Amino acid sequence: MRVLIVDDSPAMRAFIRRVVEMCGLPVTAYFQAGDGSEALQLLAREQVDVILTDINMPGMDGGQFVDRLRQDPSVAAIPVVVVSTDATAERMEQMMSRGARGYVTKPFSPEVLRAELHRVLESAHA
Amino acid sequence: MPESGIELALSRATGDVLETMFFAAVMEESAEARDDEPAIAVRMAFDGERKGVLGLRIAMPAARTLASDFLGIDSADGPAESQVHEVVRELANMICGDALSTLETKPLCLSAPRIVPISEFVLPARGKYRSFDLGNGRLTVALELEEKTHG
């Protein structure tokens, strides 16, 4: 499995990667990007199986990134899990209606991210 | 004990973030904020139903420990200064988002946290703050709210 982590904070990208490594998923490659625009450039040359993205990023934010993904048939089916500090119900609903498949709020325990990733990946393959 | 809803939100959010993301425990929490230790300060603005600034000050040794734990660095050299700053910015971001998420119903609008000179961390007269003893230094978090103007 190939995982793309999109977050403007290198520290948060490193943390998420460590947690994903603890999830017991058969990850073969990690990719990272600092915003949605960088992530789209990466997706033009690399294939990934799941995307974890922040919302609040300089440049292209998480909402715009999900919109762009859904408009492009070559990447529209890649499941997206939002990882954000914004735990308001309105933001969660907004992101899910734009096409995200999962939502994890920071702070999160490794167990919460693991469970959400498993749920999203299982439903994507169902 | 926290007295207002904002102090309560700050208290709960800071405890949650430290425990969940940094595997750190608070030794003692108070409304007293000592400033006699070398420290790092961060400020970040937010807007929405409430508008204001979150300020955070953390003692250097505590910041280095949190950065090591967050990044999984266990070398003798510890994290680089840039890594410590990056992690402290993320700490502020998570505390701000977590605290405001319990106070707001509309989606949050948070600016990027920035490291500022320690002199810029001033406990606000109109603000609410809490201070936490992390064992090797204090973490103080303050939320300064602006009056919303209407019309």
**Chain segment B91-146, per-residue pLDDT in tens:** 999 999 999 999 888 998 999 999 999 988 888 766 688 999 999 999 999 998 88
What single-letter DSSP state applies at residue B149? P
Q: Does B94 touch chain A (CB under 8 A)?
A: yes
Residues forming a β-bridge with A63: none
Please report residues of B whose CB lies closer than 8 A to that of A108. Answer: 20-21
- What pLDDT digit, counting tens, does each position of A45-70 carry? 999 999 999 999 999 999 999 999 99
Residue B131: what residue type? S
DSSP state of B115: E
Instruction: Determine what percent of chain B falls in helix, strand and coil, rounding each to the nearest 5.
Output: 35, 25, 35
| Token couple for B118 | 């320690």
The rounded Cα B5 to chain-centroid distance in angstroms is 17
Q: Taking CB atoms and an 8 Å limit, are B94 and A14 in contact across chains?
A: no
pLDDT on residue A83: 98
A2-125 has which fold?
Rossmann fold (3.40.50)
More confident residue, B112 or B147: B112
Minimal Cβ distance to B97: which of A9, A15, A85: A85
Whether the Cβ atoms of residue A5 and residue A81 lie closer than 8 Å to each other: no
Among the partner-chain residues A18, A85, A105, the one whose CB lies closest to the CB of B93 is A85
- How far is A33 from A42, CA to CA, in rounded Å? 8
User: Would you say B18 and B24 are in contact if contact means Cβ atoms under 8 Å apart?
Assistant: yes
Residue B125 to chain A, least CA–CA distance (Å): 27
B112: distance to nearest CA of chain A, Å? 8
User: What DSSP character marks residue B118?
Assistant: G
Counting Cα atoms < 13 Å in the Cβ hemisphere of B111 gives: 14
What is the topology classification, in CATH, of domain B5-144? Chemotaxis protein chec (3.40.1550)
Q: Does B37 touch chain A (CB under 8 A)?
A: no
Interchain CB contact of B105 with A (< 8 Å): yes
Query: Quick check: A97 contacting B, CB < 8 Å?
Result: no
Cα dihedral across residues B44, B50, B52, B55: positive or negative: negative
Could you tell me the residue ranges of all domains in chain A? Answer: 2-125
Write down the pTM of the prediction.
Answer: 0.91
Chain A: residue nearest B92 by CA?
A: A85
Answer whether B86 sits within 8 Å of A91, measured CB to CB. Answer: no
Residue A40 has pLDDT above 90, yes or no: yes
Could you tell me the pLDDT band of residue B151, with boundaries at 50, 70 and 90?
Answer: very low
Q: Are strands A80-84 and A102-105 parallel, antiparallel or unpaired?
A: parallel
Contact B141, A125 (CB under 8 A): no
Q: Where are the domains of chain B?
A: 5-144
On whether the CB atoms of residues A98 and A69 are closer than 8 A, the answer is no
> What residue of B is the nearest CA neighbor of A94?
B107
